[in-house]
Amino acid sequence: MLIKSTKRSDESENQVTDETVFNSRRDVLKKLGFLGAGSLLGGSALANPLDWFKDERPPKFVQSELSFNVDTSTKQTLTPESQAINYNNFYEFGTSKSDPAKHAQSFKVNPWKLEVEGLVENPLTLDYDDLLTKFPLEERIYRLRCVEAWSMVIPWIGFSLSRLLKQAKPLSSAKYVAFETVYDPKQMRGQRSRFLGGGVDYPYIEGLRLDEAMHPLALMTVGMYGKTLPPQNGAPVRLTVPWKYGFKSIKSLVKIKLVDKMPPTSWNILIPSEYGFYANVNPKVAHPRWSQARERRIVGASVLDQKRIDTKMFNGYEEVTSLYTGMDLARYY
């Protein structure tokens, strides 16, 4: 059963729904008979991503349609899909915005292995199919605000990271979560030289405090615009943390490790004065080289089709405020 969003008007910028709303929506869908056991993913919708090997045309990444619970509560102008998949940051495939779409098309996402390990009672290994079928998928329309001051509104598809962590059962000694992108220089040209990869020391690593990671907004993302992720957006699985700058939303994950100390993170290692561990969107804290007070929302079919708007604290996701009670967010940037 394929369920798709249709209504997306642009009147207002509502909050994205929280998990409670999604759960009640799921109940409604269940009552309507959309969500019987095992029906979240139609088997026939899962095309084989390796099919292009049999094709005579040059390798082109094939996406599959996904089934998901729809986010109908959010009314925002979506960024056109053509922008979201052609204007990217994914330094493993090059440093310019057009590089990932150009150089990631033959990236292999199946087979895949994601390990959840470290300070957990129940370590997990998920393969490609697990990522798409183990957890009910939900569509979440999230704004993603890049530290470079552009932003997009994207209909992501995935499941809360908290669901995965709960299944792994963090030990009481676990205080942080460390994330790691795949390291595969044969496939990722940016990992072959410091020049091509923008100076990042690969693999790309990120981290969250455990309570941040458990917040229902933190999304394990496997799709966008109704389909599995294209490689330039982090296939087969990435994180989307909408209240933080885009660089926290680490792509093409192979490892999630529960740890007791604040883990190192790629951008913080590279330029600690500019990129902190927290990286919460904050219009009042300027980047040392530019203001963060405003942003360019990419809304049209051309990158130049932009709307200049004020940036909101936590990118507008105020429900995370209590995570930072008593913290000086200018100091912990």
Ligand X SMILES: Nc1nc2c(c(=O)[nH]1)N[C@H]1C(S)=C(S)[C@@H](COP(=O)(O)O)O[C@H]1N2
Q: What one-character DSSP code corresponds to residue 90? A: -
Cβ proximity to ligand X: between 29 and 297 the closer is: 297
Q: Per CB under 5 A, does 246 bind Mo ion? A: yes
**Residue 142 binding partner per list Mo ion, ligand X, none, with a CB distance cut-off of 5 to 8 Å that depends on partner kind:** none
CB 114 within 8 Å of CB 237: yes
Beta bridge partners of 221: 158, 238
| Chain residues 164-203 in contact with ligand X, contact rule CB under 6 A | 181
Cβ proximity to Mo ion: between 197 and 226 the closer is: 197
Q: Per CB under 6 A, does 249 bind ligand X? A: yes
Q: What is the total count of residues that contact Mo ion (CB under 5 A)?
A: 5
**Residue 249 binding partner per list ligand X, Mo ion, none, with a CB distance cut-off of 5 to 8 Å that depends on partner kind:** ligand X
Q: Per CB under 6 A, does 315 bind ligand X? A: no
Q: Per CB under 6 A, does 292 bind ligand X? A: no
Q: Which of 234, 186, 295, 206 lies closest to 84 in space, CA to CA? A: 234
Q: Residue 28 and residue 34: Cα distance in Å, rounded?
A: 9
Q: Residue 210 and residue 71: Cα distance in Å, rounded?
A: 26
Q: List the end-to-end C-alpha distance of the chain, in Å, as a whole number.
A: 44
Q: In the bound complex, which residue of the shown chain has the CB atom lying closest to ligand X?
A: 246
CB 159 within 8 Å of CB 84: no
Beta bridge partners of 287: 290
Please identify which residue in the block is written with the tokens 């989307």: 240
Q: Per CB under 5 A, does 40 bind Mo ion? A: no
- Minimal distance, residue 230 CB to ligand X, in Å: 9
Q: Where in 18-95 does DSSP place strands (E)?
A: none
| Structure-token pair, residue 7 | 């209504």
CB 48 within 8 Å of CB 8: no
Cβ proximity to ligand X: between 29 and 282 the closer is: 282
Name which position in 140, 143, 215, 251 contacts ligand X (CB under 6 A): 251
Binding mask 61-100 for ligand X (x = CB under 6 A): ---------------------------xxxxx--------
- Minimal distance, residue 238 CB to Mo ion, in Å: 13
Binding mask 218-247 for ligand X (x = CB under 6 A): ---------------xx-----------xx
Applying CB under 5 A, the span of 133-141, 144-152, 252-260, 316-324 interacting with Mo ion comes to: 144-152
- Residue 205: its H or E element: strand 205-209
Determine the distance from the C-alpha atom of residue 175 to the mean position of all C-alpha atoms in its chain, rounded to a whole number. Answer: 22
- Quick check: helix, strand or coil at residue 212? helix
| Structure-token pair, residue 146 | 């890049």
Q: How, if at all, do strands 227-228 and 253-259 pair? A: unpaired
Interface residues toward Mo ion, by CB under 5 A: 89, 146-147, 246-247
| Residues found near ligand X in the complex (CB under 6 A) | 88-92, 144, 146, 181, 204, 233-234, 246-247, 249-252
